[in-house]
Structure formats: structure tokens, C-alpha cells
Amino acid sequence: MKILVIDDEKPTLSMFKLFLTAYGYDVYTAEDGEKGLALFTRISPDIVFTDIKMPGIDGIEVLRRIRKTGVPSEVIIITGHGDLEKVVEALDLDASDFIHKPVERQALNSALARAEKRKQRPFHQPVEFLKIREESKVIVFIKGKLDASAKEALPALFTPTSLKGVKEVCMILNDSFSIDRSGISLLTEVIQQLKHHQISIVLENLSYNYARVFQMAGIDKLAKLKDAVMDE
């Protein structure tokens, strides 16, 4: 599997080259966005890591141009801690995942695992819900991309009648799960409505990096977040 890493810091490129080669990937590197896009056109990598802040063409523009090519590469954004707006902008452009600098091994492993699993599914997979009622608990499995297209379907799962006697709602996110700005807003609204009914909410199987997105968005103040278990 071919991986392209784009970053203007040579130590970062060296670190990625070392780790990813050890993992068995065929690794290519570029020191800026322009060179990275030229290399992308030549090799059509399966996965791209790109720094979000670079001179000239930044990571968001790299992602935007990659999406315009129609090549179904998984793009993972490398960003700074706490930069929620940039992360959400990348998710709006269907970034596969993101990792913070300095890069932690667990975050890298999580992003790689998600990218490989996403490569096995249709590139633009619409969101799907499966709802199961177990006495006072409702379990909802969420698969695909949660965005504005679910503005009616997601709230419809939790009508006042269907919530009678419910004490807990558990949303289990499939490995293919992704979300954008509209999806984050929609999910937050639904969780707030459930809290209004005195129902506890659990979000399960969150990737290590998506858990951070939800924390930055304040969702951890409304629901319990459970990370997916990743290998060390």
C-alpha cells in the first residue's frame, strides 16, 4: 500500500518515513503542497498524510485539490492541538482522520487502521442507522457519513413515544463512521434533546482521534465517550 506524506518539516517527514516503512508501507514524501500534489498525480497513493499549516499550498487546499481529482485516496490531516475549526473544515472536505503534532503512536495507529478499513468500503457511503430496543436501553448502530442528509432520519429515531421508559441511549459508531460540521451540530442537538428527557447517552467505538474531535466540540460534556480499543 502506497502512502504519501506532505510536510514542510524534515524531521516530521523522517519520522513518518521511519515508522511507516517499518509497518510495511511503500512511503513517499514531499516538502510542500505543490510537490506533494505533483507526486500524488504521479503515484495515486492509497493514503495521504498532509500537514495543515505549510507555506504556499496548505493542507486544506491539498485536500480540496485531491478531492477534485476523484481519486479515492484516504487523506489524514496533521494539525496542532486544539485547532477545532481547521479540523472541522477538513472533515467537511471528507478527510479520513486527523492527528496532532507531536504525533503519538496510538493516534497514528488509529488513523492508519481507520484509513485501511475505509478503503474497503464505497468511497462516499451514506449514513445508515440500525436501532435496537433492549428493555430500558436503546442501541443505535451508525454506519457511514453523518451529515446534513440525516437531519430528519436521526431525530426520527427518538420520538417521545419511542423514548417511553428509556433510561439510556447507546450509539455505536461503525469503523466506517465519519462526520462533518453539519453532522456534529445535528448529533449535538439530538443528544441535548435526549438529555432533556433525563436519558443518559453513550457514544461507543470512537476512534482515538474522533474522540478528540468530540471533546473539542464539547460533546463529552453531554455524553459518555468510549474509545475503540487500539493495539499498542
The 3 state secondary structure assigned to 139-182 is: EEEEECEECHHHCCHHHHCCCCCCCCCCCEEEEEECCCCEECHH
pLDDT for res 82? 62
- Please write the tens of the pLDDT for every residue from 174-190: 887 889 999 999 999 99
Distance set, CA 61 to CA 7, 18, 71, 97, 113 (Å): 13, 26, 15, 16, 24
Q: Is the peptide bond before 72 cis (omega within 30 degrees of 0)?
A: no
Domains of the chain: 2-118 (3.40.50.2300), 128-227 (3.30.750.24)
pLDDT for res 228? 62
pLDDT for res 51? 94
- Please write the tens of the pLDDT for every residue from 30-64: 999 999 999 999 999 999 999 998 999 999 999 99
Half-sphere exposure of 82 (CA within 13 A, CB side): 0
pLDDT for res 232? 37
Those residues of the chain that have pLDDT short of 50 are 230-232
Question: What's the count of helices (H) and strands (E) in the chain, helices before strands?
Answer: 8, 12
Place of cell 500524488: 40
**Cell representation of residue 9:** 518539516
Characterize the bridge pairing of strands 2-6 and 26-30: parallel
pLDDT for res 85? 83
pLDDT for res 125? 75
Place of cell 493495539: 231
Q: What whole-number distance in Å separates Cα of residue 232 and Cα of residue 108?
A: 10
